[in-house]
Structure 1
Amino acid sequence: MATPPKTPPSSSSASSGYSEGSIRVLKGLEPVKQRPGMYTRTDNPLHIIQEVLDNAADEALAGHGKKIKVTLHTDGSVSVEDDGRGIPFGLHPEEKAPVVELVYTRLHAGGKFDKGSGGAYSFSGGLHGVGVSVTNALSKRLEVATHREGSVARLAFSGGDVIEQLEVRKLEAGERKQGTTVRAWPDAKYFETAALPMGELTHLLRSKAVLMPGVSVTLVNEKTKETQQWLYKGGLSDYLMQTLNGDPVIPLFEGSGHADKNADNFAEGEGADWAVAFTEEGQPVRESYVNLIPTSAGGTHESGLRDGLFTAVKSFIELHSLLPKGVKLLPEDVFARASYVLSAKVLDPQFQGQIKERLNSRDAVRLVSSFVRPALELWLNQHVDYGRKLAELAIKAAQTRQRAGQKVEKRKGSGVAVLPGKLTDCESKDTSHNEVFLVEGDSAGGSAKMGRDKESQAILPLRGKVLNTWEVERDRLFANTEIHDISVAVGVDPHGPNDTPDMSGLRYGKICILSDADVDGSHIQVLLLTLFFRHFPKLIEAGHVYVAKPPLFRVDAPARGKKPASKVYALDEGELTATLDKLRKDGVREGAWSISRFKGLGEMSAEQLWETTLNPDTRRLMQVQLGRFDFTSTQGEITKLMGKGEAAARRELMELRADDVDIDV
């Protein structure tokens, strides 16, 4: 019997199993099913239901609906009904398929890309056009009924595919004239639990009613036979007073400001509504929304509110000479006792991630602040007694903070360690407010020193690659100058996971690793994270270690319509694509923009570095925490990556996961 010929040694592609056929292109809604966590929250199905609810709210926000009804059915499905315009069901001019089908089966198909007067929605939470198509992909069944123009159209899907084709019939007498009803059966296999968290759902529905005074929101639970309805005529202040913990020191400060058509920097209608209460005790209530989407992780609109409140209170205190000698007021002193509900309207919101928990649009800081500051200044000067009470509250917070900082300083002063000469320290001694940036390279260190906030930001430049300290004995650590300098600057000695180090000497509340956005920068980041995890684990445990994310690209966009020429920074290729898409939608001619790529931090001017990476209101800063593994498992993983005798384990890892990585060499 003849044996099959052996593969020649040179043909390694077959043996490694990686060839042209290994590359898989995910089509339609496959990417969502493969990686649901990229598109939605997978702990429960609430977020995919919220996507449908947001669409109904966007109709009301555009002035086309007054009622939203959510029903929890006994079979585990959820339906959302609105009286908006109804999704169009005619054929799409280019795609030659019913529009309603495209909305539910295609990623990046929606009516919310073209903002402004020409689009179907001036303001909306919808941004990426992936919302309800994600709901569809992760549902066992989804039914849509859309009423408009004297007809009703129905179709049904399963796992994102059409299973009942579009059926259109004329409306009968007595049937509602317009609106959309969507009923979804979430597929339990994509979620940790199939049950909806009732507390979160009712809070979400109530907040929609608050943000849209005059729109009624109803929740019907078929299992318990309960019906709840929310309709707020008084809007934000009503809601804040109902949820507030403790009595306000001064009456509520509420207001609203929106750009008109003559505004230079903002589109017509952009702006914010707010209600703010100051209390002496109790947990502050803080809720913010962008185009009715709840932003539970805050973002730049909240930074704008903080900036506006602080600037107004500070100028009132200066005008009336109320600040005692030696007291320095910081934004947090004014903001610490503030409870608020903030609802911002932003024409083209940029969110962090698909689930839109945090707003990233840099312009939102200026937008909100520019309306809040003058309104509060005017209000305080009209009610001087209330102004004095608020000033008292802020000054008291500043004095408490400074006293706490001084206590720590006395204990630290007895140490004999001399601070490293290359450390450019900050002026403040308040540990909770101070930050140190460990910066790769002297040139970047120079820009950082010039661009930083001298009051609270310190810079420690590092020369070259830091030592891999995974297998270095603790008593040999200080033989390395860089590591010695880091330890002395931070004010905490190296320790193990089971030690109880003296943290009273800690000099900075945030220790931020700042390296280039390239492979070398990532390497330095890994070496520093290894150092902190191995020899300063309590700093990570206490949440003091952060990684700063500088942008990789800058796009210089020409003036368009009302918008002046601007610089937009993009963190990575994905954000760059989104930025260019947005410019095209704004009508900018292809190629009229210019794209610069930062080779490293050293190329950035002090001003650019401040705006993108150092400014607390607009930077991206990620806290370092243990991920899905506990301490011991994380230790095992890092040993695999950083241990001297682990080359075989690393090779195996590379062979297994190489396809997941985009390397930019």
Structure 2
Amino acid sequence: MATRKSSSSYGEASIQVLTGLEPVKQRPGMYTRTQNPLQIVQEIIDNAADEALVGFGSKIIVTLHTDDSVSVEDDGRGIPFGAHPEEGELVLEIVFTRLHAGGKFSKDKGSAYTFSGGLHGVGASVTNALSKRFDVIVWRDGKVADISFSHGDVIRAPTIREANSRVDKKSGTRITTWPDSKYFDSINVPQSELRRLLRSKAVLLPGIEVVLIIEETGEQQSWKYGNGLRSYLLEGLAGYDMLIPLFEDERYAESSCITNTMFAKGEGASWVVAWVEEGPLLRESYVNLIPTPAGGTHEFGLRDGLFRALKSFIEIHNLRLKGVKVLAEDVFARVSFVLSAKVLDPQFQGQIKEQLNNRDVVRLISSLVRLSLELWLNRNVEHGRKLAELVIQRAQARTCVVQKVGKRKSCSVAILPGKLVDCESRDVTRNELFLVEGDSAGGSAKMGRDKEFQAILPLRGKILNTWETTRDRLFENNEVYNIAVAIGVNPHANNDVLDLSNMRYGKICILADADVDGLHIQVLLLTLFFRHFPQLIKRGHVYVARPPLFRVDTPARGKNPSKKLYALDESELKAIVDKLRKDSVPGAAWTISRFKGLGEMNSNQLWDTTMNPDIRRLIPVQLGCLDFDATIERMTMLVGKGEVAARRAWLEDKSNEVQGTI
């Protein structure tokens, strides 16, 4: 058992204030991937791409040098290097040595960057902090400026000279970074991933040349696409036949029927979509040129738009089959696509920007895609019929599988919990069970759910802490018994052969209030699943739903109706308020409410914010960096009944390392 260190003390002097780039050096994993330096190199590439995105520059050159350094050069406007009007220091030093310093905060008309992948003034500063050396050269306004850093500190002060027209370029920036090996598992930039990244930039920036030079081999490769997305997708699908011709278009707010104050002029997307009957699928999405490998709300919007347009086509042309219901997954199952969205104020999940979280983007992209595809299908009816036939066939096959599974399971008798509000579908892979805190929230969830595939099990209060409960006494607790019976899986150990033949839901979702009591209930349920149903976690069946903390009510303006906007936390609330201010909505015109619990939300609100698969925040529960035995030891310390002293000592020692909560 862990014991408190006698020498430990906690007082005013224990509080540390990290300044400058120290937070990055202390916790690099919060700001970038630490497997290799590709992400910190990408931050510099993204800055060059942002210049091209707003119409400056025609070429980006990336060089892998023999000394393990990487340089990125563009012919954009060049970073300003004069003194900052308020700070007094040179801008060239400020932007690389201070977090949240940059030119991409303002999105107002006339600002330096209306649309950009950079948001928070963090990326290049992180690269500097994690580099042994970091050199910058800027060409701008007939002058040349350069500066050098080491581990984020200036080692060679800025120098500024007059440009030599014979050897110096007119404008642009070159940044060279030597990643520090102590922050990364490997110092080598993976070339295959770098090539894919650079090619995607060329695809998304038609007419811009992107060059990769590898000094060690003398290799030079360049990409330039006049017809970007189409060419890229066709390359990826080479050798596979498409069911119908490519569906491609680009549409943006105020150039279509979308009129809404929450969509700024220029927001929208370009896309190219292909349906193939066999072979691997290519699916890539981007937001303001930033790759989003984990997808997000822009991909949900594409999926929803395709589904709604094709569903409408099937109904208009009377192609429906009795007893067969077409779902979005039937339409999307054989889709390959490249999607490039432009969003004024993108909200990403984490600094590495793998997933887009803006909820309104679902409606924006869905509306644009649906309108475009409906027009295309009605102009190309034969192609539409062929596509509808493929989708209906997939729906038939799925329905047959579900019916077979349902018949097999109906042979066994199961007495389900009385409070369980079950779903209609028997497709385990699609079905979801929400474990909801209390009858009040359970009632809202019941009314707001999609009854076809979402089931609700209200829980009475806080369940038992089952960490030290033996399996033979587990079912003495009624709530635990109901959960096990509803799921259809018996309690088991980590190494047991797991029987999932009676499992009834592919997703088990913990839905509790966004307060301290709700978090406590989450912990107790996670303790139950990890201790007594560990393989459900290992196989990815357990999730935590995240309801919003805030609601912002906005007034009607002109033809635009009043709205209710939801924020998961303080940062999202700030983004919403900033957007309203930029749209010139008076501060007195909107109101901010904080939810005390799920019981305060009506059914429509709960669906829109927490249960709608397209826009909800559903976090998969996964094992962290510890192995299973080490996790057992850690959990024993955290929830074991005899570990109070060890818990207190651990919290005092480790509380400063907490990066967030579930």
1:583 and 1:202, CA in 2 relative to 1: closer, same or farther beyond 3 A?
same
CA distance in 2, matches of 1:402, 1:166: 68
Residue 381 in structure 1 maps to residue 378 in structure 2: yes
CA distance in 2, matches of 1:583, 1:60: 28
Task: List alignment gaps of at least 5 residues for structure 2.
Answer: 1-5
Partner SS, residue 119 of structure 2: coil
Once the two structures are superposed, residues 71-97 of structure 1 have per-residue CA deviations (whole angstroms, 9 ceiling, x without a partner) of: 111111111111111111111111111
Aligned partners of 1:408 and 1:504 also within 8 Å: no
1:355 and 1:157, CA in 2 relative to 1: closer, same or farther beyond 3 A?
same
Aligned residue in 2 for 1:546: 543
Aligned partners of 1:219 and 1:228 also within 8 Å: yes
Q: Pick from 226, 242, 250: which aligns with 1:248?
A: 242
Query: Which stretch of structure 1 is more off in the superposition, 221-230 or 373-382?
Result: 373-382
Deviation of 1:586 (Å): 5.7
Partner SS, residue 504 of structure 1: coil
Once the two structures are superposed, residues 205-262 of structure 1 have per-residue CA deviations (whole angstroms, 9 ceiling, x without a partner) of: 0000001110000000001100000001111111101012622111111111112277
CA distance in 2, matches of 1:194, 1:565: 52
Q: Pick from 238, 259, 283: which aligns with 2:231?
A: 238
Q: Pick from 352, 356, 359: which aligns with 2:356?
A: 359
Once the two structures are superposed, residues 3-34 of structure 1 have per-residue CA deviations (whole angstroms, 9 ceiling, x without a partner) of: xxxxxxxxxxx975211111111111111111
Aligned residue in 2 for 1:408: 405
Partner SS, residue 141 of structure 1: strand
Q: Counterpart amino acid of 1:286?
A: R
Q: Pick from 98, 101, 113: which aligns with 1:106?
A: 98
Aligned partners of 2:268 and 2:368 also within 8 Å: yes
Aligned partners of 1:492 and 1:506 also within 8 Å: yes
CA distance in 2, matches of 1:234, 1:465: 58
Aligned residue in 2 for 1:10: none
Aligned partners of 2:284 and 2:293 also within 8 Å: yes
Aligned residue in 2 for 1:7: none
Question: How many residue pairs get matched?
Answer: 653
1:662 and 1:170, CA in 2 relative to 1: closer, same or farther beyond 3 A?
closer
Residues 139-154 of structure 1: pairs in structure 2 closer than 5 A: 139-154=131-146
Deviation of 1:393 (Å): 1.4
CA distance in 1, matches of 2:434, 2:414: 20
Q: Pick from 348, 353, 363: which aligns with 2:345?
A: 348
Give TM-score, length-normalised by structure 1.
0.94
Deviation of 1:280 (Å): 1.1
CA distance in 1, matches of 2:557, 2:178: 44
Residue 192 in structure 1 maps to residue 189 in structure 2: no
Aligned residue in 2 for 1:471: 468
CA distance in 1, matches of 2:555, 2:18: 35
Partner SS, residue 518 of structure 2: helix
Aligned partners of 2:260 and 2:560 also within 8 Å: no
Query: Which stretch of structure 1 is more off in the superposition, 592-601 or 654-663?
Result: 654-663
CA distance in 1, matches of 2:431, 2:550: 28
CA distance in 2, matches of 1:270, 1:562: 19
Aligned residue in 1 for 2:440: 443
Residue 215 in structure 1 maps to residue 212 in structure 2: no
Residue 41 in structure 1 maps to residue 62 in structure 2: no
Residues 152-163 of structure 1: pairs in structure 2 closer than 5 A: 152-163=144-155
Residues 514-525 of structure 1: pairs in structure 2 closer than 5 A: 514-525=511-522
Residue 227 in structure 1 maps to residue 220 in structure 2: yes
Q: Pick from 304, 309, 329: which aligns with 2:306?
A: 309
Aligned partners of 1:267 and 1:562 also within 8 Å: no
1:80 and 1:400, CA in 2 relative to 1: closer, same or farther beyond 3 A?
same
Deviation of 1:564 (Å): 7.5
Identity %: 67
CA distance in 1, matches of 2:220, 2:561: 50
Q: Pick from 640, 650, 662: which aligns with 2:637?
A: 640
CA distance in 1, matches of 2:137, 2:603: 55
**What's the RMSD between the two structures over aligned residues?**
2.3
Query: Which stretch of structure 1 is more off in the superposition, 603-612 or 35-44?
Result: 603-612
CA distance in 1, matches of 2:461, 2:181: 50
Q: Counterpart amino acid of 2:438?
A: G
Task: List alignment gaps of at least 5 residues for structure 1.
Answer: 1-13
Aligned residue in 1 for 2:3: none
Aligned residue in 2 for 1:425: 422
Query: Which stretch of structure 1 is more off in the superposition, 541-550 or 582-591?
Result: 582-591
Aligned residue in 2 for 1:6: none
CA distance in 2, matches of 1:124, 1:322: 44
Aligned residue in 1 for 2:606: 609
Deviation of 1:663 (Å): 11
Deviation of 1:604 (Å): 1.6
CA distance in 1, matches of 2:475, 2:152: 59
Q: Counterpart amino acid of 1:572?
A: D
Query: Which stretch of structure 1 is more off in the superposition, 306-315 or 607-616?
Result: 607-616
CA distance in 2, matches of 1:90, 1:599: 50
Deviation of 1:556 (Å): 3.8
Deviation of 1:557 (Å): 5.2
CA distance in 1, matches of 2:232, 2:208: 15
CA distance in 1, matches of 2:380, 2:155: 64
1:186 and 1:561, CA in 2 relative to 1: closer, same or farther beyond 3 A?
farther
Aligned residue in 2 for 1:134: 126
Residue 508 in structure 1 maps to residue 505 in structure 2: yes
Aligned residue in 2 for 1:25: 17
Residue 274 in structure 1 maps to residue 274 in structure 2: no
Aligned residue in 1 for 2:78: 86
Residues 2-81 of structure 1: pairs in structure 2 closer than 5 A: 16-81=8-73
Residues 648-659 of structure 1: pairs in structure 2 closer than 5 A: 648-659=645-656
Deviation of 1:572 (Å): 2.7
CA distance in 2, matches of 1:99, 1:43: 31
Aligned partners of 1:408 and 1:505 also within 8 Å: no
Q: Counterpart amino acid of 2:595?
A: F
1:128 and 1:428, CA in 2 relative to 1: closer, same or farther beyond 3 A?
same
Query: Which stretch of structure 1 is more off in the superposition, 476-485 or 120-129?
Result: 476-485
Deviation of 1:197 (Å): 0.8
Residue 96 in structure 1 maps to residue 88 in structure 2: yes
CA distance in 1, matches of 2:191, 2:363: 36
Deviation of 1:662 (Å): 9.6
Q: Counterpart amino acid of 1:64?
A: F
